[in-house]
Amino acid sequence: VAHRSPPATLSTAMPTATLSASASLGATRAACVRAGRTARRVALRSPGSIASSSRGVVVMAAAASDAAPADAVEYFSPSKVNLFLRVVRRREDGYHDLASLFHVIDLGDDMKFAKSTGSRDTLVCSDDTIPLDSSNLVIKALDLWRRKTGSTQHFWVELVKNVPHGAGLGGGSGNAATAMWAANELCGRPASEAELLEWSGDIGSDISVFFSEGAAYCTGRGEIVEDVQPPIPLDTPMLLVKPDIGLSTPAIFKALDLDGRSTEDPLDLLERIKSEGCNDDVCVNDLEAPAFGKLPELLKLKERLRGAGTKGVSSVFMSGSGSTIVQVGSDDVPEFVREDAALFRSPARLITRKRGEWYEPSGLWKKRS
């Protein structure tokens, strides 16, 4: 979550991920590329092509199926929710110290990785709004992995986006973490999991949580990660709902009124959620007030979800810096959400992983059209 406070703007926030350079293999997942998706942006060196180059990446338009290596390996790239989020203080360097209970969830993107024999990386993405230059978190992650390990290996990487941008779900951070993990696997694990976690904080505050076992109490900018037990059953149904506009994380932090924060002790919240589960008194988020100030319809969305009377719902709250509202206790879609085509919605479940393995979807829900 993190973050300096540059000029306040609404945007589709952090480019929720991309493709990149160092990547790798390891545990596999069911095939991820949808046959119906044809137009993709590819970074590929090709004779006679018109392309632009950025930090060893050549970007051009192409069909993903033309370039996919036969040995490409699929990885699931998860996202996260913040079950509670307290802003502890504004630091002298302009960032904020947080205390938040993160949990990895199984709404995620699909990624493929293969070693490249060339000296450049091939990048393929299903979303042509995602930049493939050096601002891309996956590119940053793979450049970081190479720099830390001394590897010169380059890769072919494909990313199929399912997690929306500017959502407060850490989709781009999940892509970056998955890329670091995959690169390390493909190249024989030159780095330990502890090193991957430590390095990831250099390029983003939300990346580190994905190197936990899935449930983590995070402090500092979010890069200090302490594994905890999942506070609620992993099969607890959740519904994620997001309007068709994202929020800029730096803008939300800049708009934060420190005097308007919750007074709850985050360690008390951590103990309460273990015993009480998710409820509106525990699932507090100090970034809701500035987010709702920037996007009043987001407050209305939260209130409508809470007032819909959906059976089983125990809490409704915003994740991260927004703009996703999380409904815990049921993944039933209220009628007003079904009728609004502009709203993104998806079921989700909490997921964990074992050390030495990467995340897999829960398999407890199917993607809805």
Catalytic center residues:
80, 206
First CA to last CA across the chain, in angstroms? 29
Which tokens belong to 76?
């699931």
111 Cβ contact list (under 8 Å, min separation 6): 19, 32, 74, 75, 76, 77, 157, 158, 159, 160, 175, 178, 179, 182
For residue 166, report the phi and psi dihedrals to the nearest 5 degrees: 55, 40
For the beta carbon of residue 177, count every other beta carbon within 10 angstroms: 31
Question: Among residues 326, 323, 336, which one has the least CA distance to residue 292?
Answer: 323
Which tokens belong to 118?
């060339």
Strands (E), the chain: 39-43, 52-54, 57-63, 73-90, 96-116, 122-125, 154-160, 215-220, 224-227, 238-242, 315-318, 325-328, 344-348
Enter the DSSP assignment of 333.
Answer: P
Enter the DSSP assignment of 104.
Answer: E
Please name the amino acid found at residue 353. Answer: R
Q: At what angle do helices 137-149 and 171-186 cross, to 10 degrees?
A: 30
| Separation of alpha carbons 178 and 32, rounded Å | 14
Question: Among residues 221, 292, 284, which one has the least CA distance to residue 255?
Answer: 292
